Homo-oligomer: A and B are copies of this chain.
Amino acid sequence: MIDRLICQIEATQNPTVVGLDPTLAMIPSFIKEEMFERYGKTPKAVAEMFVAFNKAILDEVASLIPAVKPQVAMYEQYGLEGIRAYMETITYAKSKGLVVIGDIKRGDIASTAAAYAGHIAGADIEGEYYDLWQEDAVTLNPYMGYDGIEPFIKACNEKDRGIFVLVKTSNPSGVELQDLLVDGTPIYDKTADLVHKWGQMTMGTKGYSRVGAVVGATYKEQGIELRKRMPNTFFLVPGYGAQGGKAEDLKDYFDKNGSGIIVNSSRGIIAAYKKDNEVSEKEFAIASKKAVLAMRADLQGVMG
């Protein structure tokens, strides 16, 4: 998975991952009206909107990007129908050849972690194998330590899948725990050391492991330090654009070959039509394509 991600970033010359995180407020009115008319004001209507919205965007941008990152929460809030839409989105993205990073931020222990690992390991029902979630990689929370990570490492090795562990998040109150100092060293650096160690258990062939790290774009100095602590760790970087992170701040997150990170943008791309006066609402996916091209150009300026 990590090798394929790197190949696809090289092929598209674009370290952009599109966050497929739709909200009801983002859906163009003509889609919203059609689905409400067909299905009423129901979770099914919302699910169908999300699928139609995502597919239209993927049709425009898939050839320009290496990967997508659907945020399961946006779907999960609409119950079973929402989760069906999440799965359909993944199936469609995979049919376009994209690497799919499920942003699920799960974290638990022992047999429970093993169950969550089904996201990337699939389910074995007495010899019948099902890949029900289909994510190529998922995001995980490290609060419970290695017990919560171990079953995923196994799946990384056996199925060539990946994980991205939260190290330093881009939100303001991330500092409440992550920035506490242990003998002068912040917790996020301690987490980074764990992630580096875990990564050594499942290396790809291009210098990077299948254990990546989530490192926010909003704390430049910390990103530089984290790059040093995790030389074999691919960074998944949220916080670009809408949350205030700029391409120039990411310059030192890249390795010397201009690789090593993938930068997420969600509403900046999928809701681009709301801020683009040159396109009509019907052309929302064109606005997303323009936003992807602009982001690629922006990032290429600092990839070195």
B-binding residues in A (CB < 8 A): 21, 23-24, 36, 40-43, 45-46, 71, 73-74, 76-80, 83-84, 87, 103, 105-113, 115-119, 123, 125-128, 130, 132-133, 141-148, 166, 169-178, 180-183, 187, 190-191, 194
Contacts and interface: CB of A to CB of B under 8 A. Distances in A.
B43 A109 contact: no
Contacts of A181: 182-183
A172 B143 contact: no
Contact of A182 (B24, B132, B170, B180): B180
B46 A125 contact: yes
Identify the 8 closest CB pairs spanning chains A and B, nearest first: A79-B132, A145-B173, A77-B118, A145-B176, A73-B115, A109-B171, A41-B128, A147-B173
A140 to B, nearest CB: 10
A181 to B, nearest CB: 6
18 contacts: A21-B111, A23-B111, A24-B126, A36-B126, A40-B128, A42-B125, A43-B132, A78-B132, A79-B130, A103-B112, A109-B169, A109-B171, A143-B143, A144-B178, A145-B173, A145-B177, A145-B178, A180-B182
A108 B103 CA distance: 10
Contacts of A116: 73, 76-77
A268 to B, nearest CB: 13
A115 B76 contact: yes
Given A109-B174, A112-B21, A132-B43, A87 B77 contact: no
Nearest to A116: B73
